[in-house]
Structure 1
Amino acid sequence: MEIKPISAKETWPLRHEVMWPNMPLDFIKLPEDSNGNHFGLFLSNELVSIVSLFETGNRIAQFRKFATKTELQGKGHGSKLLLYLMAFAKENDFHTLWCNARVNKTHFYKKFGMVETEETYVKQNIKFVILRKVL
C-alpha cells in the first residue's frame, strides 16, 4: 500500500465510478480542482481510494470527493487515506477540517472525531450533512 499526491485528473475516473456513475464525467469535476491537493491510495500500483483537499478560509480546509472502489470498501483503505489526510492538514497548519457527507455515511466520519453539524442539503435526491473536526 502506498499513499501519494496525484493530479486532479487522476481522481476523475474513480470519482465517477464510485460517486456518480449515472452522471456525465464532467459532473464530478470541480472548478477548483486545479487549486486542490489530491491524494491516492494505491494497492499494487492500482489506484483504489482518492480524496481532494481544498483551503476554504483562514486555515480551514474541506476534503471532497472521497471515494474508494466499491468492492474494496470496508477493508480499511479509506480509513488509512483519511488519517493521512488529517495528518497532512495538521502538518500544513490547518486548524479545522470539514466535509459534506452523505447522511448514510456519517458513522464512518464520526469514528475519526468529526462532529455532525445542523447544516444539511439535498443533491440529486441524496441528503448530505456537514461534519467538522478541529485538528
Structure 2
Amino acid sequence: MVQLEQIFPSLTWRIRHEAMYADQPFDVVKLANDFDGVHFGLYADHKLTGVVSVFAEGDVYQFRKLAVLPQAQKMGYGSQLVEYMIDFCKIQKASKVWCNARVNAKEFYFKFGFQETNKTFSKNGYDFVIMELILNNN
C-alpha cells in the first residue's frame, strides 16, 4: 500500500541523508529555506520511504531533494513522487517546474516531459543539468 501526503520539513531529512548523503554529516541535508517549501512524503506500508521538496518563486516551482531509501529504489516510488509533485504544481497554476538533475539521472526526468536546458554545473563531484517542464494551464 502506497500513500502520498504533505509532510513537515524535518521528516525529509532522514530520507535525504540515507538516500543521497549517507557518507556525509547529517546536517548537510538541511536546506536553508526548508521551512519555506512544501514537502511530500511517500509511505510504503506505512513507512516513510521517499520524499520530494517544492519551492515556489511566483508561478515558477523548483523541486529539490527527490530521494527514495536505497532498499526501495527501482520500485516506481520516485516516479510516483514526481507525478504527485507535478500535479500539485498544476493545481497551484505553476507555469514551469524545474530541477537541478544529476546528469546520470536525466533520462528519468525525460519520462515526465522535462526538457534538458543548456545550463550545466558541477557540485560536490557531481555533474548537473537544469531540466524544466513547461506547464500548460489553459
Which category of TM-score, normalised to the shorter sequence, fits these structures? over 0.9
Q: CA deviation at 1:58?
A: 2.9
Q: State how far apart, in whole Å, the 1-side matches of 2:116 and 2:21 are.
A: 23
Mapped to 1, the partners of 2:70 and 2:101 lie a distance apart of: 17
SS at match of 1:5: strand
1:50-109 per-residue CA deviation (whole Å, 9 max, x = no partner) reads 000001x33000000000111211111111111010000000111100000111000000
Whichever residue aligns with residue 23 of structure 1, its letter is Q
Query: Unmatched 5+ residue regions in structure 2?
Result: none
Structure 1 residue 17 corresponds to structure 2 residue 7: no
What does residue 92 of structure 2 align with?
Answer: 92
SS in 2 for 1:52: strand
SS of residue matched to 2:83: helix
Whole-Å separation in 1 of the counterparts to 2:24 and 2:134:
34
| Match of residue 118 from structure 1 | 118
TM-score by length of 2: 0.94
Aligned partner of 1:78 in structure 2 is: 78
1:133 partner letter = L
Instruction: Quote how far apart the aligned CAs of 1:115 are.
Output: 0.4
| Cα distance in 2, alignment partners of residues 60 and 15 from structure 1 | 23
Figure out how many residues of one structure are paired with residues of the other and give that number.
134
Q: After the TM superposition, list the runs of 4 or more consecutive aligned residues in structure 1 that deviate by more than 6 angstroms.
A: none
Identical aligned residues as a percent: 40
